Amino acid sequence: MSKAVQLLVKEGKRQAETIDLIPSENIASRRVQDALASYFTNKYAEGYPGKRYYPGNVMADELELYAQNLARKIFGLTKRWHVNVQPYSGSPANIAVYFGLLNFGDTIMGMALSHGGHLTHGHKVNFSGRAYRTIQYGVGPYTGRIDYDELERLAKKYRPKLIVSGATAYPRKIDFARIGDIAKNVKALHLADISHIAGLVVAKLHPSPFPHADVITTTTHKTLRGPRAAIILCKKEYKDAIDKAVFPGLQGGPHLNTIAAIAVAFEEAIRPSFRHYQQQVLKNAKTLARELIKEGFQLLSDGTDNHLLLANVKASGIDASWAEGVLEQAGILANRNTVPGDASPFRPSGIRMGTPSVTSRGMREQEMRTIAVCIAQLLRKHKTPLEICGKVKKLCKRFPIPEIYR
C-alpha cells in the first residue's frame, strides 16, 4: 500500500473512532464522496455554461445549470435569484462578493472574530480587513447576543457600503430582518453569510435571510453536509458583477467534481429525511447544552438555538488549549475558540462544540448526555483521557460512520 493510501485508511479509522463535535464539520455521504472522486475531476471548464474557454463541456454545462437550479429549489427561490456554484470555498466566496460589489477602501461592517464572526468578515489579518476599511460589531456583554442597537448606531455613524450578517461561533438565531432594515436605512448592501446554518435554513428551522439580504454566501460542507465548497446566491441585478468576480476575477477553472458533489448533496437535502436530520441536530445541541450546564459549565448566552454552543471554560478556571488537548486525547474533538473579551485568538477562553457530525452518525439525546458526562469528567473531575477513551470508543462503535444516507 502506498504511503498516501495508508494515510487515507488511517484517517478513516481516526474518524470512525472519534466523537467529532467541531460544529463546522460533518460527514458527507458516500454518494457525495463518489462525486468528488468522479470523472469530472479530469475536466477544465473555465467560464460559465454556454460560454466556456475549453471544448468538451456539454455535460459540465448541464451539471452547473442543474446545481444552480437545485440551490434555488432547496432554498425555495425563484429565478430572480442568481446562483454561482463555482467558489472553491467559503472564504473565496466572501472575497468575491466584496471584490465584485465594492471598491478597495470602501467600508464594510461585520461581526468581530472574538464575538463569533469569521475572519473574512473584516478581521485585520484577513484580506477583507486589509483591502477594505472595516467596522466590527459584536454581542452584548451580559446577553451574549448580537447587540442590534449598537450595530445600528455603528451603521449610522460609519455608513458602510456593505454589512455582513452571519457568524462562525454564534449560538443564537440571527435577526436577518433587523440587519436588513438597518442596511436599507443606511443604503448599504446586506451580505448574509449563512455558512454555518444553511442546513437549518433549508429545513426552515432558522429564519431565512433571503427576504432581507442582497447576497447570500454559504459553504456547502457544514450543516448542508456536502463537499468542501461554497455557493453565492444574489439578486439578479448583481449577477454579472458576482460572476465576473469569481471568474476571471479570482479563480480559474471551476472544480466540476465538487460541483457534481454539491448537486448530489442538494438532491439529498430535498428529501424529508434531511429535515428530520436537522431537527435532531437541534435537539441534540439543546440537550448537550443543558447537560453541560448541569455539569457546571458556563455557556455563552446560556444555551443555544442552533447546532452549536460555546462554553467559556476560562470562567471555571480551565485553560481552553489544555481542554482541547485533553478532549482530543480521549477521542473527543471540540475546538478552542475566542469569546467576547478575549484579547488574542492565541489564548482563547472558550470551547466550541456542535452536533452536525454526531447526529449524522445517528446519535440522539441519550448519547449527548453520555458525551456531556465524559467532557465533565475530563475537564472538571480530572479523570484521565485513558479512563474515558474506552467509553468514547464504545459509543463510536455503536454509531459507525454511515456509508449512505437514504
Ligand X SMILES: Cc1ncc(COP(=O)(O)O)c(C=O)c1O
- Binding site residues, ligand X, CB under 6 A: 24, 89-91, 94, 118, 120, 166-168, 193, 195-196, 219
Q: Measured between alpha carbons, how far is 228 from 31 in angstroms, rounded to an integer?
A: 14
Q: 12: which 3 cell numbers?
A: 478513516
Could you confirm whether 237 is annotated as catalytic? no
Q: How far is the CB of 73 from ligand X (least distance, A)?
A: 23
Residue nearest to ligand X according to CB distances in the complex: 90
Q: Where do we find the cell 448574509?
A: 192
Could you confirm whether 150 is annotated as catalytic? no
Could you confirm whether 222 is annotated as catalytic? yes
Of 171, 203, 384, nearest in space to 292 by CA: 171
25, 30, 31, 44: the active-site residue: 44
DSSP for residue 402? P
Specify the pairing of strand 19-20 against strand 332-333.
Answer: parallel
> Largest Cα–Cα distance of the chain, in whole Å?
63
Q: How many CB atoms lie within 10 A of CB 235?
A: 16
Q: Measured between alpha carbons, how far is 232 from 270 in angstroms, rounded to an integer?
A: 19
Q: How far is the CB of 394 from ligand X (least distance, A)?
A: 31
β strands within 345-400, DSSP E: 350-354
Q: How far is the CB of 138 from ligand X (least distance, A)?
A: 15
- Which is nearer to ligand X, 47 or 129 (by Cβ)? 129
Q: Residues with Cβ < 8 Å from 60, sequence gap 6 or more?
A: 40, 43, 45, 49, 52, 256
Q: Where do we find the cell 473531575?
A: 381
Annotated binding site for (6S)-5,6,7,8-tetrahydrofolate: 113, 117-119, 344-346
- Which is nearer to ligand X, 18 or 120 (by Cβ)? 120
Reduced to 3 states (helix: H, G, I; strand: E, B; else coil), residue 26 is coil
Q: How many CB atoms lie within 10 A of CB 400?
A: 10
Could you confirm whether 394 is annotated as catalytic? no
What backbone torsions phi and psi does residue 171 show, to the nearest 5 degrees?
Answer: -90, 5
**Residues forming beta bridges with residue 135, ordered by sequence position:** 109
Specify the pairing of strand 107-111 against strand 133-137.
Answer: parallel
18, 66, 172, 193: the active-site residue: 193
- Which is nearer to ligand X, 118 or 225 (by Cβ)? 118
Q: How far is the CB of 230 from ligand X (least distance, A)?
A: 6
Q: Residues with Cβ < 8 Å from 142, sequence gap 6 or more?
A: none
- Which is nearer to ligand X, 310 or 372 (by Cβ)? 310
Annotated binding site: 113, 117-119, 344-346
- Which is nearer to ligand X, 57 or 337 (by Cβ)? 337
Q: How far is the CB of 44 from ligand X (least distance, A)?
A: 22
17, 25, 34, 46: the active-site residue: 46
Reduced to 3 states (helix: H, G, I; strand: E, B; else coil), residue 194 is coil
107, 168, 219, 338: the active-site residue: 219
Could you confirm whether 369 is annotated as catalytic? no
Q: How far is the CB of 167 from ligand X (least distance, A)?
A: 6
**Dihedral (CA of 145, 225, 48, 235) sign:** negative
Q: Measured between alpha carbons, how far is 292 from 336 in angstroms, rounded to an integer?
A: 16
Q: Measured between alpha carbons, how far is 351 from 169 in angstroms, rounded to an integer?
A: 10
Could you confirm whether 220 is annotated as catalytic? no
Q: 219: which 3 cell numbers?
A: 459553504
52, 172, 222, 286: the active-site residue: 222
Q: 180: which 3 cell numbers?
A: 436588513
- Which is nearer to ligand X, 91 or 208 (by Cβ)? 91
Query: What residue type is assigned to position 234 of the chain?
Result: C
Q: How far is the CB of 59 from ligand X (least distance, A)?
A: 26
- Which is nearer to ligand X, 118 or 361 (by Cβ)? 118
Could you give the residue numbers annotated as active site?
A: 44, 46, 193, 219, 222, 228
